[in-house]
Amino acid sequence: MERSLLSKGFILSLFFLIPSLVLGGSSKGASPKEKGISRELYKELELFTKVLHYVKSDYVEEVKEKQLIEGAIRGMLSTLDPHSLYMPADLYRELKVDTEGKFGGVGIEVTIKDNWLTVVTPLEDTPAAKAGIRAGDKILKINNNSAKGISLIDAVKMMRGDKGSRLRLTIVREGVKPFQVTLARDLIRIKSVKKELIDKKYGYVRITSFQEGTAKELDRALRELEKKADGRQLGGLVLDLRNNPGGLLDEAVDVADQFLESGLIVKTTSRDEEIDKREAKRERTHPMMPLIVLVNGGSASAAEIVAGALQDQKRGVIVGTQTFGKGSVQTVYELGDGSALKLTIARYFTPSGRSIQAQGIKPDIIVPEVKILETAAVDQSTLREKDLKGHLEEEFDEKESNLPSKSKKPKESAVTVEDYQKKVALDYLRSWDSFGKVIPAAQ
């Protein structure tokens, strides 16, 4: 079984989610292609064989062959990009289960930044979110064990556990002294679509991730909102993709398709050749209501595909802050023993030909997450694809340090508005008669 993936880095969550995976297609066994194996490569393999021989025969302690081979594979993939990865059988099983939307753990997505385990985002309604863990937090210790230089696989193994068991994390946050958080692991069930009717006229739909059935859930949610609006067409819709780490590619395409009558949604290229493209189909389109799409630095991968397609097709107005910038495609190859290889094989592009890799989607209207006074300073730092060491377009020099760098503590704003971005989006819908001149209004 071969699966095409678009993910926000090798992002392993504490509930064993690799959420930012955009999976599509089917999976197959991994047999090497003839054109990928050259005589030069076989010659270089002689060097590997010699090293393997000496380690196996002369190392101070006996080492299992499987341990040596898996270590060599991980080392090879670490020279590529942050998303290419070897997954042992147990981890691959978790991946296949995770896309169904039910997980065990505390609900944090993590990646490696500057050699530190870093939180990408906590998922809504999970122990991590309820405990106040934030995007950008760095994990210094896991149950009193240092997380400096830890691999993501090892981190997941340390943080996994039964429902009700305790997990203690030591966190450092910008401008704050290191502190500890104790979390109770739980069975995490993610509802990917949440809806709300506002002013008996405007729809608000939040997609938390793109998992199996998300597009159908969205269609059902929109129809239920129309019924609540006395069967009338909605006056407008806010589609909230904030902190959505991605998910299944097919679901993202189907979601975008529900708002587009025709045209390209996304295309992928590899080695300067187009390998796939997805287009909208009119029969799945919802009424052409005014549409606002909310995004932020936690919107990645599949969420960026949807936002980029709607923006390029002039179908919706993108509001919020710049997205994560995950624009590469991964395929999973099953290796025959239960393990799998996740390998970056292509980049994806929006309908207008923009590459989102390490750049992200820039909103049509920039709206910060909180309302800021002139006398206040609010930290806007957000982890993005370009921050990950070795990403496809640029490679950062890794700086070693004993602790993650900290900036001065930002001043707290004297005025805050609960979900300021959502408020602004709804204000735009309410004033659509004048604001809607930016894009064609509903017909």
Residue owning tokens 């004993």: 402
Distance CA 138, CA 173 (A): 7
Q: What is the pLDDT of residue 27?
A: 45
The residue annotated as part of the active site, out of 137, 186, 254, 312, is 312
203 sits in which H/E element:
strand 202-207
Helix orientation angle between 249-257 and 302-312, rounded to the nearest 10 degrees: 30
Residue owning tokens 């993910």: 7
Q: Where are the domains of the chain?
A: 193-329+342-434
Q: What is the pLDDT of residue 179?
A: 95
Q: What is the pLDDT of residue 23?
A: 43
Taking the alpha carbons of 402, 405, 408, 410 in that order, is the dihedral positive or negative? negative
| C-alpha 11, offset from chain centre | 7
Q: Of 258, 248, 157, nearest to 210 (Cα)?
A: 248
Instruction: Residues 193-329+342-434: name the CATH superfamily.
Output: 2-enoyl-CoA Hydratase; Chain A, domain 1 (3.90.226.10)
Based on C-alpha coordinates, what's the Rg of the chain?
23
The answer to whether residue 422 is catalytic is no
Q: Which two tokens stand for residue 247?
A: 């998910």
> E-strand spans in 65-211?
85-87, 102-105, 108-113, 116-122, 138-142, 145-146, 166-173, 176-184, 186-189, 193-198, 202-207
Q: What is the pLDDT of residue 378?
A: 44
Cβ atoms of residues 195 and 221 within 8 Å: yes
Distance CA 237, CA 292 (A): 6
The residue annotated as part of the active site, out of 13, 20, 301, 339, is 301
CA angle 109, 112, 116 (to 5 degrees): 110
The answer to whether residue 312 is catalytic is yes
Q: What is the pLDDT of residue 111?
A: 77
Using 70 as the pLDDT threshold, list the residues of the chain that sit under it.
1-37, 95, 97-104, 284, 371-417, 433-443
Q: Which two tokens stand for residue 439?
A: 């894009």
Q: What is the pLDDT of residue 181?
A: 95
Number of H helices, E strands in the chain: 10, 21
Distance CA 424, CA 281 (A): 31
The residue annotated as part of the active site, out of 326, 342, 389, 422, is 326
Distance CA 166, CA 158 (A): 12
Residue owning tokens 């930044």: 113
Q: Which two tokens stand for residue 376?
A: 């206040």
Q: What is the pLDDT of residue 383?
A: 62
The answer to whether residue 326 is catalytic is yes
Q: What is the pLDDT of residue 323?
A: 94
